[in-house]
Structures are given as C-alpha cells and as structure tokens.
Amino acid sequence: MVGSRDRAGVDGCGQAVTAERGGLAVSVGFPVGAPARAEDVDPGFEVEELRRDAISVLSRNARDGYVAPARGLYVHQHLWDSCFIAIGQRHYDAVAAMAGLRRLARAQWGNGMIPHIRFEGGWRYWWDSRVWRSRASPSAPRSVATGGISQPPMLAEAVVRVGEVLPHDQRIAWYRSMYPSLVAYHEWMHLERGLDGRDLAVQIHPWETGLDNSPPLLDLLGRQPSPWWIDLIAWSRTDRLATHFRWDTKYVPADQRSSTLEALRLYAALRRIRAERYETRAALLRSPFLIQDLTFNSILVRADAHLREIAREIGKSLPPKLLAAMDCHLSTMEQLWDEESKTYYSRDALSGQLVKEPSIAALMPLYAGSADAARAKRLVEMLGDPEIFGTPYPVPSVPVRSLSFRPSRYWQGPTWVNTNWLVIDGLRRYGYREEAEALTRKTLRLVSRCGFYEYYDPMTGSPAGAKDFSWTAALTVDLLSDCHRAAPARRDSLVAG
C-alpha cells in the first residue's frame, strides 16, 4: 500500500546492488512464520550493524550535555531534534536521553515557551544568538541564550517514550521532574498562542513549524509585500552572488537548501517579530505572517494526550483552564479538513482561510489520532498513490504531482526520517499495521544503503542535506527496536479524546 516496491537490483543511492546484505528479520519484529514476500525474508539491512552505526553517529555528534543535530551545519541544541534524539537514545542510554531533555527544559522562557534553539557559546551558526537578540524579551531566560520562537511540541512524546524504558519508581520521578515545565509549556501554547484556549495554536514564523520552507509556508509568506531591499536583490539578481557567501552552503550544495531569496524572506520575517520582542500579542496584532500549522497542531493534540497520561500517572490534576483548552483544541482540528479536495491543510490565522498548498503535513492527523476512520483511510490511500506520496522511497515532503515538488530541495520534496516516523506511528494507531511495517522497512533500508542523511530524494533514494544527521540516526535506533512496534497497551489508550 505504501509506495511502490523497490526496483530490483538498484539500491537507494541509485547504484547497482552488487551483493545482497544479510538481515535478521525476526529480531526487528518483522513477521515470523512463513513469509509472504521476498522483502520479508531480506529486509535489506543488518540489524546490529545499522544500530551500531546509528549510535556511533549520535556519539560523534554529542556535545556537553546534548546531541547536536549535525556537525558543522547545526551545532546548537534544537527543540524537536532533541526530542527525536532522546527517543532513540532511550534504548541504550536513558540517562543521556533524560539529561538532554532536562537541559532543553532549562532554557524555558518565563512565559512557558520552550525555545526552538538553545545556543552554545563558542559555536558559530548562520542564524546565531546575535541575530536573534532574544534577551530583548522580558520573558527570555538570562542565564542561557536562546532563539525567540518555538518548534513543534514533541517534548511530551519524548518524556513518555523515555518513561517507558524506566522502572516504575524512576518513571514517576522522571515525570514529576518534567511535569511543571510541560504544564507551563502547554499553557503557553494553548492560552497564549491558542487565543486564550479558544482556537488552534498560532505560529508566528515558518521556522516554528519545523518544516521551514515547505510550500504552504512560502505561499503564505509570499502573500505579503516583501521589504524593498529584498525586491532590489531579486530585481538585480544579486542573490546569486550572495549564495556564495552563505554559511550553510559550505556544508550542503545550494540546490539542496532554501534558495537565497527564500532565506532572506525568512530573515525579514524574523526581523519583524524581533522588533516586537517576540511578544505574542504584538505579533497577533501586527505580524503579516500568522499560521495555524497542521503539523504543529497535530503534534500538540498528541502531546496533550501524553500530558494527561503523565498527570494521571503521578496523581496530579491539570489546571481546569488548560483542560478546557485542550478539549477545544481537539474539536477544532477538523476545521483544517477541506471537503472539496478531501485533505487537511494549515490555516492562515489572519484570513481564516485554509492554505491549499499540499505537503506532508496532510498526513499528520494520523499521528494526532484526531481524524475519524474515513478520513484516516483517505490519508492512507494518498500515501499509497504514486501521484501523491507513493514514491519509490517514501514519504516525500511534498506530493509528487504538486507544481512545487523539488525532489532534493529541503522541505520541498525530499523524504525525511522524522516525518516517516510520525506517519508510521499514526498508521499503527489506526490499525494499518502492514502499511506501517512496509514503511518502516523502506525507511530502514534507505538509511542502511545511503547513510544517516538529513533527507533523501524520494524518487531515486539519493541522500541529500547534512551528513550524519542525528534524528535520522536516533529514529533508526527506535525503528529497529521491538519496543516501538510492540508498544505497551496503555499507549493505545492515548488516542485523542
């Protein structure tokens, strides 16, 4: 159902396969007994070798107390990266997984926001703390430097996944230690960004969605007039020259990253919210870019369910206003469904209109668990459709038939392992086990053949972006483990509602 089969004799990096790699299907939870298909017998990778290589990437990317997303290109601690990293680390070093998440929580702002980046002194970065100047906000912590916005709320998921591998007493202590931060964080998302708990959470910059330059985000950003200096650069075509001075293109070919004009528009959007000292109220009143992003809000639905579970386990009652906001948020999610095209979209928070530019975000309600069975079925059909998401190396970040599809450019087409992980989880919770296992195998095979890259061309499997990328390695460890596929029954009870 998911995607089409690998072409025999050609590996994911576009090279002829000379030797079959051995693989031990049983230990990764693939079907036991009489296998129905050749790919069940030969998963295409050696489990222990892949796991060892993945852990080695994570240890090479380790810094003082956290794991950086990638050496060179991303050296600071990023929010959702840290959560995916902890989900992998828990299988072999739960102490390090907890330490990374605690460190992230210590960067929390006074208003409850967990920032998208915690900066480390001494490391250079394209968009570093001098660009953000987030201490202009009275809510920003004084002792650590951070970005001024947030990222998709994977924290509660990571806290619960780490809790699953701990003995009962340690799990309770772990949950108790993270609970105050989580409550403040979710209150910030629902009450401050969710318009006092009456609506979906609003994101004030494309980077808050985690999918930086995905077509719907650029579409919305592009509806505003750009600053004169960007128009001038575009008109004079000096952006081509500027590309040579970019920090990121020292590590990744320019045609795999955002274009220079896109990057400048993102920077201009940052300047606007920085001028308002990252205040939600000011942004809501004046920012031309406000989105109720489908990925962010889907992850929030799931995070809320985890937070309820954490509270229940440690015998706490969540604040009534937060509980009411969570209920309202969940019931509002279906407003993002478009009956005409039978898919989900993000919403422009200013006009209230859906941004009808398709992307991988459409599949995220599976992970949320918020879609009804009929809508979930439709999403699974899209996943298998070769014109939409059913590519040889799924799942592309933009549907193949979209005019915006660019197979190796950042969030405009490539396959990413973190979104695959979210889709796999969603398929399982809706009972699409076969599809989930097929996508798991395809993902692991791709990584095994091509290495732990930031993303991959969904048509040829060619690797792209940063090399030795941490969340790719961490989620590989997780996908390889039995624990993830045979999740305890109580996880199934976390279906929203």
Other Cβ atoms less than 10 A from the Cβ of 490: the count is: 12
Rounded distance between C-alpha atoms, residue 60 and residue 75, angstroms = 12
Compare residues 43 and 69 and give the one whose CB is closer to ligand GLC.
69
Q: What are phi and psi of 38, to 5 degrees?
A: -60, -35
Q: Which of 30, 74, 109, 289 binds ligand GLC (CB under 6 A)?
A: 74
Q: How far is the CB of 472 from ligand GLC (least distance, A)?
A: 10
Q: Which of 44, 69, 112, 426 binds ligand GLC (CB under 6 A)?
A: 69
Rounded distance between C-alpha atoms, residue 264 and residue 257, angstroms = 13
Query: Which residue type occupies 117?
Result: I
3-state secondary structure of 354: strand
Q: How far is the CB of 454 from ligand GLC (least distance, A)?
A: 7
- Is residue 80 a contact residue for ligand GLC (CB under 6 A)? yes
Q: Which of 194, 197, 210, 358 binds ligand GLC (CB under 6 A)?
A: 210
- Is residue 293 a contact residue for ligand GLC (CB under 6 A)? no
Q: Which residues pair with 158 in a beta bridge?
A: none
- For residue 348, give the H/E element and its range: strand 347-348
Q: How far is the CB of 315 from ligand GLC (least distance, A)?
A: 34
Active-site position among 81, 199, 208, 212: 212
Q: Which of 6, 11, 53, 81 binds ligand GLC (CB under 6 A)?
A: 81
Q: Which residues pair with 343 in a beta bridge?
A: 338
Compare residues 30 and 455 and give the one whose CB is closer to ligand GLC.
455
If you count them, how many residues does the chain have? 497
Check if 339 is active-site.
no
- Is residue 348 a contact residue for ligand GLC (CB under 6 A)? no
Compare residues 74 and 132 and give the one whose CB is closer to ligand GLC.
74
Half-sphere exposure of residue 461: CA atoms within 13 angstroms, side-chain side:
24
Scanning 50-58, 72-80, 129-137, 283-291 for contacts with ligand GLC by CB under 6 A, the matching segment is: 72-80
Q: Encode burial over 211-236: b for 16+ CB neighbours within 10 A, e otherwise.
A: bbbbbbbbbbbeeeebeeebeebeee
Other Cβ atoms less than 10 A from the Cβ of 351: the count is: 11
Rounded distance between C-alpha atoms, residue 385 and residue 413, angstroms = 15
- Is residue 212 a contact residue for ligand GLC (CB under 6 A)? yes
- Is residue 461 a contact residue for ligand GLC (CB under 6 A)? no
Rounded distance between C-alpha atoms, residue 215 and residue 212, angstroms = 9
Residues 6 or more apart whose CB falls under 8 angstroms from that of 406 comprise 398, 412, 413
Q: How far is the CB of 183 from ligand GLC (least distance, A)?
A: 24
Active-site position among 304, 437, 454, 468: 454
Compare residues 81 and 348 and give the one whose CB is closer to ligand GLC.
81
Rounded distance between C-alpha atoms, residue 362 and residue 351, angstroms = 20
**Residue 140: DSSP 8-state:** S
Rounded distance between C-alpha atoms, residue 289 and residue 294, angstroms = 15
Compare residues 45 and 74 and give the one whose CB is closer to ligand GLC.
74
- Is residue 393 a contact residue for ligand GLC (CB under 6 A)? no
Scanning 27-35, 48-56, 74-82, 123-131 for contacts with ligand GLC by CB under 6 A, the matching segment is: 74-82
Residue 36 vs residues 32, 40, 441: alpha-carbon distances, Å: 10, 7, 15
Q: How far is the CB of 212 from ligand GLC (least distance, A)?
A: 4
Query: If binding means CB under 6 A, how many residues of this protein chain bind ligand GLC?
Result: 7
- Is residue 163 a contact residue for ligand GLC (CB under 6 A)? no
Q: Encode burial over 29-59: b for 16+ CB neighbours within 10 A, e otherwise.
A: bbeeeeeeeebbebbbbebeebbebbbebbe
Under 8 Å between Cβ of 78 and 67: no
Rounded distance between C-alpha atoms, residue 402 and residue 318, angstroms = 43
- Is residue 421 a contact residue for ligand GLC (CB under 6 A)? no
Question: Closest by alpha carbon to 368, among 297, 432, 291?
Answer: 297
Q: How far is the CB of 78 from ligand GLC (least distance, A)?
A: 4
Q: Tell me the residue nearest to ligand GLC as measured from the CB.
A: 69
Q: How far is the CB of 70 from ligand GLC (least distance, A)?
A: 7
Residues 6 or more apart whose CB falls under 8 angstroms from that of 471 comprise 69, 81, 84, 85, 88, 417, 418
Q: How far is the CB of 331 from ligand GLC (least distance, A)?
A: 28
Q: Please calculate the CA angle 479-88-111 and round it to the nearest 5 degrees.
A: 125
Q: How far is the CB of 250 from ligand GLC (least distance, A)?
A: 15
Residue numbers 130-159 binding ligand GLC by CB under 6 A: none
Compare residues 80 and 119 and give the one whose CB is closer to ligand GLC.
80
Scanning 30-38, 46-54, 77-85, 285-293 for contacts with ligand GLC by CB under 6 A, the matching segment is: 77-85
- Is residue 78 a contact residue for ligand GLC (CB under 6 A)? yes
Check if 212 is active-site.
yes
- Is residue 187 a contact residue for ligand GLC (CB under 6 A)? no
- Is residue 208 a contact residue for ligand GLC (CB under 6 A)? no
Compare residues 80 and 109 and give the one whose CB is closer to ligand GLC.
80
Scanning 27-35, 78-86, 247-255, 279-287 for contacts with ligand GLC by CB under 6 A, the matching segment is: 78-86
Q: How far is the CB of 108 from ligand GLC (least distance, A)?
A: 18
Site residues (vs ligand GLC, CB under 6 A)? 69, 74, 78, 80-81, 210, 212
Active-site residues, by number, are 212, 454
